[in-house]
């Protein structure tokens, strides 16, 4: 078992020589912008764990409750801004692009903060809070309406003592295409669902080509994303982890920088 290096100067030399960088990001990077992780202690919405709402059976049983949860998340994220880590990645991408090099962000996050920070090459493994999918015609569309529909205006308060409202399906987000009027669902990958094959394929291609991989703000326990960086490391490609603490995969990586991503990442990627 090896101990990863925390030599920032040595790591910056590797960054300087790299030509195709993949940056894997998780909930930790967005937590620094005030976005709740909904994992572990304090991860409740009302009395529910996110896992109990983010699933096809939960939506089938009570679409109004699930939509209240996602409406709350959408409205909350709209009040948040990208932090120094998001901005550092976006700036790094632009500089690399000018030199004919490539940076790709593969994120497990659904908040689009990378996009708002200015990053262009993004693979969203789990979809986006600002996409909807029709349960009838299966069209997927971007939707930034606030609120997403009148039936959800003022709904979604997270407090445990909130009396649950029974929202009629007819008053939930509906498809507007060709008189379809099907019930919309959030355009995210739920527990019990598999990642889209084309998304996994795209991520795999980038991971196969990269000559440097950064793991930023992720616990490395959610599969299949948890396998990505160890597979890259197994090829002999440098992997650096930026996290508040060690993870189950830390010892597989060459570098580990402990602390807030908004502090460590800008230093690592600075010009």
Phi, psi of 153 (to 5 degrees): -60, 125
> Residues comprising the binding site?
26-45, 70, 73, 108-111, 134, 137, 175, 180, 217-219, 243-245, 261
Q: Where are the alpha helices (DSSP H) in the chain?
A: 8-17, 27-31, 50-53, 56-61, 63-78, 84-98, 113-117, 197-209, 225-234, 261-269
What's the rounded Cα separation, in Å, for the pair 204 and 123?
11
**Coil vs helix vs strand at 46:** coil
**Coil vs helix vs strand at 164:** coil
Catalytic one of 71, 86, 114, 126: 126
Distances (CA, A) of 194 to 73, 161, 170, 225: 22, 34, 28, 12
What's the rounded Cα separation, in Å, for the pair 80 and 32?
10
> Residues comprising the binding site for Zn(2+)?
134, 137, 175, 180
Annotation says 126 is catalytic: yes
Whether residue 103 contacts residue 88, with contact meaning beta carbons closer than 8 Å, is answered with no
> Residues comprising the binding site for substrate?
70, 73
> Residues comprising the binding site for NAD(+)?
26-45, 108-111, 217-219, 243-245, 261
Length of the chain: 271
What's the rounded Cα separation, in Å, for the pair 27 and 217?
6
Q: Which residues are catalytic?
A: 126
């Amino acid at each position: 078992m090896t101990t990863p290096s925390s030599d920032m100067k040595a790591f910056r030399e590797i960054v300087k020589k790299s030509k195709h960088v993949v940056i894997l990001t998780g909930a930790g990077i967005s937590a620094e912008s005030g976005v709740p992780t909904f994992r572990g202690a304090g991860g409740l919405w009302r009395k529910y764990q996110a896992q109990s709402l983010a699933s096809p059976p939960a939506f089938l049983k009570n679409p109004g409750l699930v939509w209240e949860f996602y409406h709350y998340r959408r409205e909350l994220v709209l009040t948040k801004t990208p932090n120094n880590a998001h901005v550092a990645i976006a700036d790094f991408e632009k500089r690399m692009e000018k030199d004919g090099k490539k940076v790709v962000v593969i994120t497990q996050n659904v908040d689009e903060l990378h996009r708002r920070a200015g990053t262009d090459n993004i693979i969203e493994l789990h979809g986006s809070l600002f996409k909807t999918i029709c349960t009838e015609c299966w069209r997927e569309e971007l939707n930034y309406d606030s609120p997403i529909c009148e039936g959800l205006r003022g709904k979604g308060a997270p407090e445990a003592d909130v009396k649950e409202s029974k929202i009629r399906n007819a008053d939930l987000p509906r498809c507007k295409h060709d008189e379809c009027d099907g019930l919309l669902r959030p355009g995210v990958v739920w527990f019990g669902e598999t990642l889209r094959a084309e998304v996994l394929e795209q991520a795999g291609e980038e991971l196969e080509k990269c000559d440097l991989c950064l793991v930023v703000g992720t616990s490395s326990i959610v599969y299949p994303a948890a396998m990505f960086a160890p597979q890259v490391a197994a090829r002999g490609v440098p992997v650096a982890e930026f996290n508040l603490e060690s993870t189950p995969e830390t010892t597989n990586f060459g570098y580990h920088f402990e602390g807030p991503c908004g502090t460590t990442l800008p230093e690592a990627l600075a010009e």
